[in-house]
Structure 1
Amino acid sequence: MNQDEFFKCLADRTRLDIVMMIVQEGERCVCDLTAGLGMSQPKISRHLALLRKGGILQDRRQGQWVYYRLHDSLPGWCHDVLQASAGAHSGFQQKACVDSSCCD
């Protein structure tokens, strides 16, 4: 991953909020992200698709749920930038997931 692609992908506030939530809280399901960011599932899913395509996030399925985490092959410098940014980021509220069955 080059710096241009990485920062261009994170230049959108919603995508930055998604990644910061995952960095701060770990792997998250879509319902966690929609609750925490106060946005609709289709909007969050569209941004997640761009983050996956950009190589920043990867997903895994567990039953009907999809969980997102930082991509395993994300370079160390990307992790460093994200960790440094996470401490100063406050773009989401920590709300409980609206469907607790996905978070068991």
Structure 2
Amino acid sequence: MSAAPTRPHDELQYLDLIRDVLDRGDPRPDRTGTGTLAIFAPPNLRFSLADSTLPLLTTKRTFLRGIVEELLWFVRGCTDAKQLSAKGVKIWDGNGSKEFLEKRGLGHRREG
């Protein structure tokens, strides 16, 4: 009886996608002028949450406390980015500024 085939680590899906973008990606302009590479209709990535696992990239440093704070913020139904910012999680700061909202025709919305 042969052993069941082992499933590759979930993170390899992400690494394979990055390799594909680097190898076949088309140059695209972006707002910063840096330029990006993109592929049309990339494959869906599927991650298992079985056995208390969390799909977290290990090939780069990750702000784990920020990830947890943001997740709890979402779960609580919060929408005010100032709550995250006060805890040192700045990822949403630019998206709730008055300038950002006005540029998108949302100047009537509350800042944050």
What TM-score comes out, normalization by structure 1 length?
Answer: 0.30
Bigger strand fraction: 1
* Bigger relative CO (Cα 8 Å, ≥ 6 apart): 1
Larger radius of gyration: 2
